[in-house]
Amino acid sequence: MALPNIYKSKNLKFFVAIPFALLVISVLLSPRLVLDSSLAGGAIITIASNTTLSSQQIASEVSSALHVPSPSVIKSPGTVTITISANSSISNAYDDLIAFSDNQSLYGTYYANYTAASIALKNSTNATASASLARAQAGMSGTLANMDASLSNELSSLKSFIPSQAYNRSNPTEMGIIAQNSYTNASLVYQQGVISKLNAIVPSSTQPSYEPTAPQEGKAFLSSLEQIILVAFVLVSIVVFIIFRSIVPSLTVIFGAANDIIIAIGAMALFGIPLGIASIGGLLMLMGYAIDTDVLTSIRILKRHEGTPEDRAFSSMKTGMTMTGAAIASFAVLFVVSFIAYIPTYYEISGVVLFGLIGDLATTWLGNASLILMYVKRKEKVGSK
**Domain edges within the chain:** 6-37+215-379, 43-213
Q: Is the pLDDT of residue 277 over 90?
A: no
Residue 353 is predicted with a pLDDT of: 92
Give pTM, 2 decimals.
0.71
Report the distance separating Cα 32 and Cα 38, nearest Å. 18
Q: Which of 40, 83, 79 is nearest to 59 (CA)?
A: 83
pLDDT score for 234: 82
- How does pLDDT run across 91-112, given as a tens digit for each residue? 899 989 999 999 999 999 999 9
Confidence of residue 384 (pLDDT cuts 50, 70, 90): low
Task: Please give the average per-residue pLDDT across 303-310, as a whole number.
Answer: 81
Domain spanning 6-37+215-379, CATH architecture: Up-down Bundle (1.20)
Q: How high is the pLDDT of residue 160?
A: 92
Instruction: Give me the sheet containing 42-48, strands edge to edge.
Output: 72-76, 79-85, 42-48, 209-213
What is the rounded distance in angstroms from the CA atom of residue 114 to the CA atom of residue 139? Answer: 9
| pLDDT bucket at 383, cuts 50 / 70 / 90 | low
| Residue range 55-67: mean pLDDT, rounded | 88
Give the span between the Cα atoms of 172 and 146, in whole angstroms.
11
* Cα 212 to Cα 90, 231, 355, distances in angstroms: 11, 31, 32
Q: What is the CA radius of gyration of the chain?
A: 29
Most confident of 33-47, 75-89, 180-194, 337-351: 180-194
Residue 385's pLDDT band (boundaries 50, 70, 90)?
A: low
